[in-house]
Chain A
Amino acid sequence: MSSLLDTLIPGDADFPTPGAVGLHDALVMHVRFGGPYLQVTSLLPKGFALLPQEERAKVLSQIEQKHPLIFNGLIVGVYSLYYTEPKVAIVIERLTGHTARPPQPAGHQLVPFDPKFLTIPAARAQLYRPTPETDNA
């Protein structure tokens, strides 16, 4: 069913298609995302895979309009599994610097706060409103 997934995320010179990273198997096996995927798959017309890309997109747009909740579940599942796929993460790291590893335990450098930024805001006048209690304090 790579024709469905590759229509959703066609891939380009940098990014692989979902079919190329084995997303079909990951989706089918996923406890939450498998359901919407199979539901949308069941709604596809015969010969969907043989249609040109533009025609496949039209079919999917119609399904999205008729079954928005199911289709939304599919998109969340496809995007979630695609963008956590290690081969995709490596592309993102190369393009953006976002490291292809979990946020922890390494994290990112914690740069000390530079107080020079506060020259202007610290010089402002009192902005909070007095109350009867603050007046009496």
Chain B
Amino acid sequence: MTDVVIVGAGASGGAAAWRLARAGFKVTCLEQGGWIDPDATPSLRPDWEIARQTTHHPNPNVRAAPQDYPVDDTEAAIKPFLYNAVGGSTILWGAHFPRFRPSDFRTKTLDGVGDDWPISYEDLAPYYEENDRMMGVSGLAGDPGNPPRDNRQMPPVPLGRAGKRMARAFDQLDWHWWPADVAINTEPYGEGRGACNNCGPCDLGCPHGARSATDVSYWPQAIAAGVQLRTGARVFEVEIDAQGKASGVVWYDRQGQVQRTRASVVALAANGLGTARLMLLSTSKRFPNGLANDTDLVGRRLMHHPTGMVTGRFLDEMDGWAGPFAVSILSQQFYETDVTRGFVRGYQMQLLRSDGPVGTAVGGYLPRVPWGQGHHARFRDVFGHTASLTVTTEDLPRMENRVILSTHLTDMDGIPAPKTIYSLDQNTKKMIAHGIDRATEAFNVAGAADIAAQSLVADAGFHLLGTACMGADQATSVTDSNSRTHSVPNLLILDGSVFTTAAALNPTSTIQALALRAADALTRDRAEIKVAS
């Protein structure tokens, strides 16, 4: 018997485990993946780019590792992008670390769309600060696009040639830009974690521990605080007692044997896909449609961040293969609602560097380099000569975008896989079109020789949000403001499932701040929490 069992050792699971253990809880965490050896990163091998196409591909359907579960994405415009390991998807992330803006918590009040969160930016601000300290953030105070806040732990990552070029273009256009906040060490920071050496492919892992992930930030301290972390543990059911309280979880170990962990509190931290899947799998007489699913909201309101992309090719070399691939500068010029644009809410533009030789040839930022005559001429033209702006749009919740259980796909243990059903609405399409026009304008001002746009990046399902949403009204939400489910008071949802709305930027710092806040609320209310008998 443990006080708290957490399912998932990723961004939120690691943060909450650390916080709860420090508060005196006996914590067990179950993770279906294993530890990633930083010295085994493909970045140390000549064939490092092949790993991106195979063993380290972000799509679990392509990667197909034993610890992965497949995702039925046949009815989804955006494909899944996640990882299963200690550290979760922070293992292969680019480490963008922006915070929500205050308006992101009040879309209903300000714009009449989505729903207001039951908490505000101000409620979350101290947890953002604590989380920054634990993860380690590089960046600069003084951004007029966001509320004033403390200095980051470290100075920003270098802009690179493309970053400088685009920064000048934004200045000429009189548009906002700022160095991105990133969870990458530009100086040694944290326990045994060194500084970034500008290698490029952060997504393949970092042997120096410079790119933060919860396996190198939270987990060493969580384990030191007493958390029991079990890897290779694939949870397939949350059990409840006769009163409908969560009593523990059932899981397969690596040998396929069924194991059971009883707990006073169950906390789900398996991302907006895995958590919804587990809740839908956990049916009972009390919850025939899935755990805590009285309102039929579990799995619904799935949000990503639909992303367009514009890539500019410059005649001079940009050397974009050097430096953290995903982070440099960003612009939030078009973030807030301006109804004259023809849509509500807005988007962020983020500058990406570029690819190595394989990534350039296979395509991604630009279409594939054509095979046949002229192949190498085109390769010379584009390799090291490009930069890209993503157009990351706010994704408002819609009931028809959802996670359900697949009727035909299972993981290696025979557990039904999740299926995502997802499409874009007209508001989002207008936002992307507007963003592509603006990004094209910026590349033109920057002097790009030619410019190409993608109206939707399909392989961009890295933000899995909203499938067990937080709210003040029990009839229209799954959890309360402390991430505790309305109908099962000793069940917490710690990951991005609880997002009421998605904002238009990377969610990890908000996910982790919410997890820390949920942990503190549990600590505060522990005497009042009704647990299984």
Contact = CB atoms under 8 A, between A and B. Distances in A.
Interface of A: 7-12, 14-15, 32, 53, 57, 60, 75-76, 78-84, 86, 88-89, 92, 95-98, 101-115, 117-118, 120-122, 124-134, 137
Nearest to A74: B371
A124 B358 contact: no
Contact of B50 (A84, A115, A131): A84
B121 A121 contact: no
Contacts of A128: 101-103, 144-147, 335-336
Interface string B463-479: 00000000000000000
B293 interface: no
Contacts of B109: 131-132
B376 A12 contact: yes
B357 interface: yes
B158 A110 contact: yes
Contact of A80 (B50, B142, B164, B201): B50
Given A32-B54, A79-B362, A107 B49 contact: no
17 contacts: A8-B371, A8-B372, A8-B375, A32-B54, A57-B373, A76-B53, A80-B362, A102-B45, A103-B48, A108-B200, A110-B157, A127-B336, A128-B103, A128-B336, A131-B102, A131-B106, A133-B122
B401 interface: no
A98 B368 contact: no
Contacts, number: 191
B36 interface: no
Given A104-B43, A118-B178, 19 more contacts: A9-B376, A83-B361, A84-B50, A84-B358, A86-B46, A98-B356, A98-B357, A98-B384, A101-B46, A105-B44, A108-B199, A112-B155, A122-B144, A127-B145, A131-B106, A131-B120, A132-B106, A134-B102, A134-B121
- The 6 A-B residue pairs with the shortest CB-CB distance, nearest first, are A107-B197, A103-B199, A107-B199, A83-B357, A108-B322, A104-B43
Interface residues of B, number: 75
Contacts of A137: 122
A32 B200 CA distance: 25
Contact of B156 (A96, A97, A113, A124): A113
A133 B49 contact: no
Contact of B198 (A95, A107, A134): A107
Contacts of B48: 84, 102-103
B60 interface: no
B171 interface: yes
Given A75-B368, A104-B199, A118-B140, A14 B102 contact: no
A22 to B, nearest CB: 15
Question: Which DSSP category, helix, strand, loop or mixed, fits chain B's interface?
Answer: loop
A120 to B, nearest CB: 5
A133 B106 CA distance: 10
A64 to B, nearest CB: 9
Contacts of A114: 159
A121 B103 contact: no
Contacts of A81: 50
B47 interface: yes
A79 B159 contact: no
Interface of B: 41, 43-50, 53-54, 101-103, 105-106, 109-110, 120-122, 140, 142, 144-147, 155-159, 164, 167, 170-171, 176-179, 186, 195-201, 207, 317, 319, 321-323, 332-333, 335-337, 356-358, 361-362, 368-369, 371-373, 375-377, 380, 383-384
A84 B121 CA distance: 47
Residue of B106, B164, B357, B361 contacting most chain A CB atoms (<10 Å): B357
A126 to B, nearest CB: 5
B56 to A, nearest CB: 12
Contacts of B167: 117, 121
B157 A113 contact: yes
Contacts of A84: 46-50, 357-358
Given A7-B372, A96-B383, A127-B145, A106 B197 contact: yes
B102 A104 contact: no
Contacts of A12: 376-377
B201 A103 contact: yes
Contacts of B170: 121
A75 B44 CA distance: 25
B410 to A, nearest CB: 22
B371 A9 contact: yes
A120 B375 contact: no
A92 to B, nearest CB: 6
Nearest to A115: B140
Contacts of A108: 197-200, 322-323
Contacts of A132: 106, 109
B372 A127 contact: no
A113 B75 CA distance: 44
A75 B362 contact: yes
A92 B357 contact: yes
Contact of B110 (A78, A122, A129): A129
